[in-house]
Amino acid sequence: MPNFKKIKFKVFGDRRGKLISLEAMRNVPFEIKRVYYIFDTKEDVDRGNHSHPKLNQIVVCLSGSCKFYLEDKCSRKTLKLNKPSDGLFIGKDVWRRMFDFSSDCVLMVLADDYYIEEEYNRDYKKFKLLKK
Ligand code: T46
C-alpha cells in the first residue's frame, strides 16, 4: 500500500454555503502540532523535492489547483488537488514535488510535528537508496 492517499472530507452544506471540519484523531489520523499554508506561488516553479523520515501531513487545496508528484518504496503517482473537500495524506518516506500551481492556489497543510529542518531529506539519490 502506498504511504499517500486522497481522503474525502464530509461537507456540511446548506442554503448558506458549505463547511468542512477537520478534527485530530477523527477525520485527521494524527494529533496536529503545526498548520502552515502556501500561497502566491509563482507560475512554472516547483516546490517540495524532499521526503520526511518521520513526518505525517495532510494537504488541503483551499483554492485554485496544483499537482503533486508522489513516490514511495512501492509506487509513484501524480495527483491534482483542486477541491477543499479533498485531503491528501502524505506519510513518512514519501518523495513529493508540487508543480502546476494556479495563481490563486492556497494549500493548507496539517502536520503531526513541529518544523525541524534536520528532518528533511532533500537528496533524491539518498531517497532512492533508502527505498531499496
Ligand atoms: C512539505 C511541503 C508540502 C518554516 O519556517 N516553518 C515551516 O513549518 C515550514 C513548512 C517552512 N518554514 C520555512 C523554511 C523555508 O525557509 O519556510 C521556507 C519555505 O519552506 P520549504 O522550502 O520547505 O517549502 P516547500 O513548499 O518546498 O515544502 C513545504 C514543507 O516544508 C514540506 O514539509 O511537505 O510543503
Q: What is the pLDDT of residues 76-115, one digit of tens each?
A: 999 999 999 999 999 999 999 999 999 999 999 999 999 9
Whose C-alpha lies nearest to ligand 1, atom 14? 117
Verify whether ligand 1 is closer than 6 Å to residue 37 (CB atom).
no
Q: Which of 5, 22, 30, 50 is catalytic?
A: 50
- Which pairs from 124-127 meet CB under 8 Å and 24+ separation? 124/49, 124/95, 127/51, 127/93, 127/95
Give the DSSP letter of residue 117: G
The answer to whether residue 52 is catalytic is no
Determine the 3-state secondary structure of 128 from DSSP: helix
Q: What is the pLDDT of residue 130?
A: 82
Whose C-alpha lies nearest to ligand 1, atom 27? 48
Q: What is the pLDDT of residue 26?
A: 97
Q: What is the pLDDT of residues 18-74, one digit of tens each?
A: 999 999 999 999 999 999 999 999 989 999 999 999 999 999 999 999 999 999 999
Output the CA torsion sign for 11, 30, 2, 100: positive
- Report percent pLDDT > 70 for the chain: 100
> What residues contact 132, with CB distance under 8 A and at least 6 apart?
none
Q: What is the pLDDT of residue 92?
A: 97
